[in-house]
Amino acid sequence: MSLLGIDLLRSERLAFMGTIHSLTDDEFENGRTLCSNWAPRDVLAHLIGTADARGYLRAGLRFNAANNQAVAQMRALTRDELTALGDRWAERPTWLHQVAARFYLGDVCTHHQDVLRGLGRSHDLPDFAAAAVFREGVLLSTGTNRNLLRYRVEPTTPGVRPLGRGQVVRGSAEALGLWLAGRKGIDKELHFNN
């Protein structure tokens, strides 16, 4: 991956951490996100946990189990301890994150939207970040009933190509990506053709 990809990843991680630092203690601990049963602190714990490939191997590559384990382990940390880990995670991507910066960019951008949208905050993002959310949604769509064999998704975001077959769904790359990933409440931002 090019240095530019790593720089984009670091930039989006720092933006996510800026949001985390801006939260009240109650929002951090109990705020609503688009990730079922996860508060913003849990989303942060998950993102930090993706840096440990061993956790995924120990879980037999069962990604949900590994993610939930990382979140559970970090619930014992105070806000200051967890955000200090988050600041280090944002500044210094591991070798795995550097090699797969394009993939992890989608994960960070998607989870940033999960937190912002869940708390009702402004969630405008640049086209490259919207495209990253779309790619993440396409990857995650196989685990939802919103897959590309049932739907043709047509992003209105410039430079993002349509994919799939079946019922046509149009919207921003960001909204389509979140919808494909199974996030609830996003369908009101989309246009469905029969």
Total domain count, the chain:
2
121: in domain: no
98: in domain: yes
- Report the SS3 class of residue 193: strand
- 9 vs 108: CA distance, rounded Å: 8
Least confident of 6-10, 39-43, 68-72, 120-124: 68-72
- Same domain membership, residue 56 and residue 90: yes
72: in domain: yes
CATH number of the CATH domain containing 135? 3.30.1050
122: in domain: no
- Same domain membership, residue 65 and residue 36: yes
The model's pLDDT over 114-164, given as tens digits with 9 standing for 90+, comes to 999 999 998 888 899 999 999 999 998 987 788 898 999 999 999 999 999
Domain coverage including residue 132: 127-193
Which of residues 52 and 132 earns the better pLDDT score?
132
Cα within 13 Å of Cα(41), Cβ side: 21
Cβ density class 99-125: b for 16+ within 10 Å, e for less: ebbebbbbbbbbbbbbbbbbbeeebeb
Would the pTM of this model clear 0.85, i.e. be above it? yes
118: in domain: no
